[in-house]
Amino acid sequence: MTPAVQKPCPGAGSPSFHLRDGELWCEDIAIRGLAARFGTPLYVYSATTLASRLAEVRAAFGPEAHVCYAVKANSNLSILRRLHAGGAGFDLVSGGELRRLQAAGLPTSGAVFAGVAKEHWEIEAAVAAGIMFFNVESAHELPLLAAAGQAARKRVRVLLRLNPDVDAATHAYISTAKKDNKFGVALDRAGAVVEAIAREPWLELCGYHVHLGSQLRTVGPYAAALDRVLEFADGAAVRRDGVTHYDLGGGFGIAYGAGEPLEVAAVAKCLLPRLRERRWVPVVEPGRYLAGDAGVLVTAVLGEKNQGGTDFLLVDAAMNDLLRPALYRAEHPIVPVRATAAERRVVDVVGPVCETGDFLAQKRELPRCERGDLLAVLGAGAYGASMASNYNTRRRPAEVLVEGAAVRLVRTRETFEQMFANEDPDED
């Protein structure tokens, strides 16, 4: 038998998703077979891509760096276990994400906990779990953290999240370090917060945290942020003494949408010499960069219609399954699972949800499709399943993890009974 001809898949950010004789595969498994076995909509993840991306970041920043995967990007327990096995720690933004690590049987000592509005129970739980650092976002957190440390009889290690007012040139909803964003402490107010930390015997300032936003494509914003942090630290001895770590956040851009992916090694090359001069250990928090290109959303065509001069392609995945196009105008590449010579046309790919904003793509050129044909939305491994909802009483998709020729169902498709289980708890 002639071996299948393997070619790159246009738009795919990882070679794990490729074409064999015109069919889309994930590693050594045909996507069409997965859809037949598990149904659609369906999330498919590549274990090889997760491992290779993590290894790339670890190699760029060196063995001394703490690489903490941003759990919010994709919090599936199997994904967390895979990344821990590759040497990742974790970036948490909720007590629920801490519970996920514990449910997955993973150590919490390599976790950092950020979040602009931490609740009292979350702080206590994270202190009890012995996390590595809290990223302090507001002065009001300090007495809560100190009280939790005193109750546990141990000093709480903190990084102060600074807002350096750096424009990362990304979408407004995923920009986090401009002066009008809710995150971090403005530099002109941060000195007083550092002094308050220094006065508190149950707190230990270990460094600074900056996160600029998501989908950054150039080194410049990372360099500008470090410039401002170093200038701040040099403003007083209390801001420098005892500082050992610099958390530069994540936000490394991948290939979808306009522009090229970020060259992570270039970020490391720019920042590491300056950090090593200070003996500051880097902390990095990639999420999308590790998981985004490691996943696709597979959806089936239901039909088509023309209205008002627009051709609509109707599919069974919707904004509740993948919110990013509606929320951020994200432009995920979409490809047929089976290549076809059918004529190409410009369509809006839309789902069943009762919202005009329910689209996976607009004004996208695709070959003419028939009912039952499959499409793959690429670059959907991050902020896809983790942001999915039950809007319109729709069940969240199943998720599968592929490694070579092995397939594991890592989340079953939600049932209606599961959706209704917590409602009307007092009913007989």
**Active site members:** 354
Query: What pairs with residue 311 in β-bridges?
Result: 306
Query: What pairs with residue 411 in β-bridges?
Result: 399
Query: Quick one: tokens of 261?
Result: 């992916």
Long-range contacts of 194-199 (CB under 8 A, 24+ apart): 194/160, 194/236, 194/238, 194/239, 195/238, 196/139, 196/142, 197/136, 197/142, 197/158, 197/160, 198/238
Laid out side by side, the sheet with 29-30 consists of: 6-8, 17-20, 23-26, 29-30
Instruction: Bin 304: left if φ > 0, else alpha if -120 < ψ < 50, else beta.
Output: beta
Distances in Å between the alpha carbon of 280 and those of 187, 248, 253, 393? Answer: 19, 11, 25, 49
What is the chain's percent helix, strand, coil content, to nearest 5?
30, 25, 40
Contact 387, 288 (CB under 8 A): no
Grouping H, G, I as helix, E, B as strand and the rest as coil, residue 389 is: coil
Q: Report how far residue 111's alpha carbon sits from residue 66's, in angstroms, rounded to the nearest whole number.
A: 9
